[in-house]
Amino acid sequence: MIRGYKGKEPIYVGSPDPDVAVRREQVAEFANAVLKRLGSGGVGTMIAWAFTQAARRTAERIAAQEKVSLQFVKLRLIPLESPEFAAHVTSKHERYSELVTFVLPPTIRLKWQRVATCKYRFDVSESIALNSGAKIINAQWDFGGFWRWSQQCVN
């Protein structure tokens, strides 16, 4: 099954789930669709997170028969805030280096302890900033959502 085209080249896009690999049945089905569309010697591209060994062997066997040539493009997860992602952009466009900065929210580790009726102690001292060289300088709470709860403590 063909999922799209780049120019005249058929494209197959695998599952959005990174844990689901393309199987040999999908390769054979795509190869047949490319063959019907372009004829013998056609080229198609399959894009996915992973390809099973059986899928790779099937593509090699089909190519050896000179029917269809399938190119596999294996995707990788690259965190946006990683130096690897920034290098991907800035290596081609140095002037964009200042644009490839991500401000990540800190990981908040909240501990709380009830010390008396309607009195609590909160501790966020184990929270961490995720940005390189950053530190947490302020913590704020908004107890407005607990209006009914706080009214019970006042009454």
Average pLDDT over residues 128-144: 78
Supply the pLDDT for residue 41. Answer: 82
Average pLDDT over all residues of the chain: 83
- Give the strand order in the sheet containing 68-74: 4-6, 9-13, 42-48, 68-74
DSSP one-letter code for 72: E
Place of tokens 């952009």: 89
> What's the pTM value of the predicted model, to 2 decimals?
0.56
Rounded Cα gap, residues 52 and 61, in angstroms: 14
Rounded Cα gap, residues 125 and 19, in angstroms: 36
Sign of CA pseudo-dihedral 126, 132, 136, 137: positive
Average pLDDT over residues 105-123: 87
Q: Domain locations in the chain?
A: 4-74, 82-138
Place of tokens 């040539």: 69
Supply the pLDDT for residue 100. Answer: 63
Q: What is the pLDDT of residues 69-104, one digit of tens each?
A: 999 999 888 877 777 877 776 776 666 666 666 677
Share of the chain above pLDDT 70, in %: 83
pLDDT-derived band at 19 (thresholds 50, 70, 90) equals very high
Q: Is 56 exposed, middle or buried (0-12, 13-18, 19+ CB in 10 A)?
A: middle
The DSSP secondary structure of 41-80, one letter per residue, reads TEEEEEEES-B-HHHHHHHHHHHHTTSEEEEEEE-----T
Q: How far apart are the first and last CA of the chain?
A: 67
Check whether 147 has a pLDDT greater than 80.
Answer: no
Strand partners, 107: 128
